[in-house]
Amino acid sequence: MTHGEMGMTEGHFSFDRSLRLGVDLTPVLPGGENGGARVWVLELVRALARKRPDWHFQLLTCSLNHEFLSPLDRPNVSRALTDQGPVPKREKEVNWPHLRRLWGVLPRSPRVRLKKILNAPFRHQPLHPSRKWDLLFCPFTAPFFWEPSTPCVCLVHDLQYRDYPEFFSRQDRASRDTHFREACDRSARLVVASNFVRDSVIRAGGIDPEKVLRIPIRRDQRSRQNGNGAERVRRFGVSPGSYLIYPANLWPHKNHRMLLTAFGIFQARNPGNQIHLVLTGNTLERGEALREELLALGLGSKVSLTGYVSDGDLINLLQNALAMVFPSLYEGFGIPLLEAMSLAVPVLAGNRTAIPETCDGAALLVDPRGPFDWAAAIARVVSDGELRARLSEAGRIRVERLGGAASMISEFESLFLELAARAN
């Protein structure tokens, strides 16, 4: 098997001095707007810095996140504040009436040039760092600070903008596609977390499969906490073992509307039940609309919309849940699936994209487009204790089979050493 197919788990690469690594964290946003990717990336940086105290990590930050990222500081980790921030989005496309009238009478060549200007993605300007790096790591895909003399590694989390273009504005699609194309052209290696994304990247990018390396996300097996976790979940209006949880930002692909429909069907078919649904994650601009939907469906007292919660509260809510539901339409990996399985929480999930690969038989999978099927599956998970026990044990075994975080860190370490040694 090739490195791209299985990840690099062995091999030693000679490098005769401390590795100097630039890490572009300018896209990081405080709160939950980056989703699970932010949590994973910051954990990865922390773990690498702990394992390699002889390396120096220069974290590129922006005014929005510079102080937020200060907990990453270590003797071998420094932050470099750039004057750049996350790539902004245009909320609305250009739609000026006079421009629309003019559009029809312009010759084709000026129209093409004007269209490129109006739809061009916002771009970072190159950074001129005070020190040179041996390698640039771009964990949010875009190689904003790429230099031809420095090897670059880009993480590609998914290509959702291609499969579900309706979930993105034209401007956002253009930006994402530009970033992906530049990552394909400029990186020495692209890293993905699943074979699903790897196949998508190779197909969409038209690049050599050897350039795309799969390094699955891993988490160490978590032990259940007893402490005051039960009391902490009651602050969210639920009792341990009486609720289902869906940890996801209110992005369109997370499929909340279908889930609420399915949960409403379940409630109508099972009057008098005590099961609640807890929705965590950043509500973004959809919070009010979702609350109105809950009232219209008669679910106002059965669904808790918590908004973004701390990592500690999320773990407590997960480990005290009856099960986790995850009806996402699209995942490049599905970090919450891994989190739930590491806590031996039963999982009910969608059967598309990378989800079956991530769960590998350790979840009850259902078509995320079928609310009646989901209502039946919810009823089954709620009523069947033996099923929950089997799913819980299967999840524990799946996380154990994937391996712990140390093996994932070692694969990134080997990759960085290999590329730095080749360029040295």
Quick one: 229-402 is in which CATH superfamily? Glycogen Phosphorylase B; (3.40.50.2000)
Mean pLDDT of 219-232: 67
Q: Could you give the CA distance from residue 175 to residue 88 in angstroms, rounded to a whole number?
A: 10
For residues 259 and 114, the model is more confident at 259
pLDDT bucket at 84, cuts 50 / 70 / 90: low
Per-residue model confidence (pLDDT) at position 39: 87
Mean pLDDT of 94-109: 47
Residue 56, strand partner residues: 20
Asked if domains 3-87+122-218+404-423 and 229-402 share a fold, the reply is yes
Selection from 423, 416, 424 nearest residue 213 by Cα: 416
The pLDDT tens digits for 275-295 are: 999 999 888 777 788 888 888
The pLDDT tens digits for 370-415 are: 999 999 999 999 999 999 999 999 999 999 999 999 999 999 999 9
pLDDT tops 90 at residue 140: yes
CATH of 3-87+122-218+404-423, one of 2.40.10.340, 3.40.50.2000, 3.40.50.2300, 3.40.50.300: 3.40.50.2000
pLDDT tops 90 at residue 48: yes
CA angle 6, 11, 13 (to 5 degrees): 125
Tell me the pLDDT of the chain averaged across its residues: 86
For the chain, what are the domain ranges?
Answer: 3-87+122-218+404-423, 229-402
Residue 155, strand partner residues: 191
Contact 347, 362 (CB under 8 A): yes
CA angle 252, 248, 285 (to 5 degrees): 55
